Amino acid sequence: MTTSSAAPGLRRSLGIGAAVVCLGSPALLGPAVALLLAASALLAVSVPLLRWPWGRITENTAALVVMAVSLLVDIAYIGKQGLTLLWMPFEFGGLLILTGRLIRRSQPRHLLPAGLAATLTTLALPLRFTLRNPESGTAGSVIMVLVTLVPVACAVGVGSYLRSTDSRRQQAVLQARREQRLHMARVLHDFVAHEITGMVLEVQAAQESAYDPEQHQAMLARVEEAGIRALDSMDRTLQSLREAEDVREDAHGQEPTQPSTRVYGLADLPDLVRRFAESGSVTTELNLDEELVGALPREIDETAHALVLESLTNVRRHAASAHLVTVTVEQVSGAVLQVSVTNDGSSDKPLLPDRKGGGTGLVGLDERFRFLGGALTAGPSADGWRVMGTLSVPSPAGTLTDH
């Protein structure tokens, strides 16, 4: 890393040194006024080569200073007009680069004045020669400005294109970060809320009826395990957020792979349903087609698990009178996955009647199903309440086949 970071600095130093020698040496051999032309050209060439910011001075500020110096030389130069031609091509090239960079990197509120200043300064540079040359006349000055207009327009176009590219990239990064934050929020909601709800249910059950010592110890063990799982989920989520903030582009300008959290799927359903059954008095049945385990795309596998997790959490919260919960995961009508959670309870006795907030779990789940081209329904059924989701598995994945 030291070698790769030192190489650009060395190249910059060599470039500035070469510019000083090539542009400064001729000025030392000519009249004193030539130093003014050389200094203006050297500034225009050197500023793009320097590493910015330099203290509190930004590249845009330095570029505007170069523009001001160039205009002052245009006005104040009193030497022979022929000398201007020696340094003008170098200064013109530097001004074109600075014009493009000002267009690309200026703040929105500074874009118009900075762009106009850079454009007019670059267009005015040839007038340093033509206005002092009697043979050029007004027609010659107009022609030179028109000729100069082509490369200036190219510099403005390149700067505008790179500005739009930077803006799209920034928007893409912001969108990626937003999606990652939403994913982390879903993880916390899905797993932490589920475990905490189970802990609340255990405590409420213990308050309503006395446990014998053995039952009491078992209850405390379940609460402890649920708390540890909730803490683990929070730790993984926070660690992923910290790692995401530390992501930086590598030496080749490519972004490393974003850190990911633990992905749950159908393979985790038996353990999830078992823990749910052990944390209360609800009989729970799981009807899972084993051929589907490990055969689904990651997004579908995770979404199916999220539906079951959210539904079981809602049973705890809103259907305290439920006695039977049935979880069914099966393939229906070809390459369509159907996941349903049915309970025989009612929603007239919520687990946490005084709790404010919530109610966003199914909304977010519905968005996930629709994003994947599926559908989610939730409402009364013959047995009580049912949440059901369907997802079409893409046939190229080869994950589901007709039985």
For every one of its 403 residues, what pLDDT tens digit does the chain have, with 9 covering 90 and above? Answer: 444 455 667 888 898 899 899 998 998 888 999 999 999 999 999 999 998 888 889 999 999 999 999 999 999 998 888 899 999 999 999 999 999 999 999 999 999 999 999 999 999 999 999 998 888 888 989 999 999 999 999 999 999 999 999 999 999 988 887 877 777 777 676 667 667 777 776 676 677 666 777 777 777 877 777 777 777 767 766 676 666 555 544 434 444 444 445 678 899 899 888 888 877 678 899 999 898 998 899 889 988 988 998 888 888 777 777 889 999 999 988 788 999 999 987 654 444 445 444 445 788 788 889 988 899 998 888 878 899 999 988 764 444 555 4
User: How far apart are alpha carbons 23 and 125 in whole angstroms?
Assistant: 17
Pairing of strands 336-343, 375-381: unpaired
**pTM exceeding the 0.85 threshold for the entire prediction:** no
Nearest to 42 by CA among 14, 68, 70: 70
Fold classification of 264-403 is Heat Shock Protein 90 (3.30.565)
What residue segments make up the domains of the chain, in order of their start? 2-135, 173-262, 264-403
User: How far apart are alpha carbons 166 and 324 in whole angstroms?
Assistant: 56
Distances (CA, A) of 43 to 9, 66, 141, 255: 18, 6, 25, 35
Task: Tell the burial category of 306 from Cβ atoms under 10 Å away from its Cβ (0-12, 13-18, 19+).
Answer: buried
pLDDT of residue 346: 62
212 φψ region: left (φ > 0), alpha (ψ -120 to 50), beta (else): beta
Nearest to 311 by CA among 269, 352, 253: 269
Which distant-in-sequence residues (6+ apart) come within 8 Å of 68 by Cβ? Answer: none
**Three-class SS of residue 286?**
strand
**Would you mind telling me the total number of residues written for the chain in this entry?**
403
Q: What angle do CA 58, 145, 102 make, to 5 degrees?
A: 15
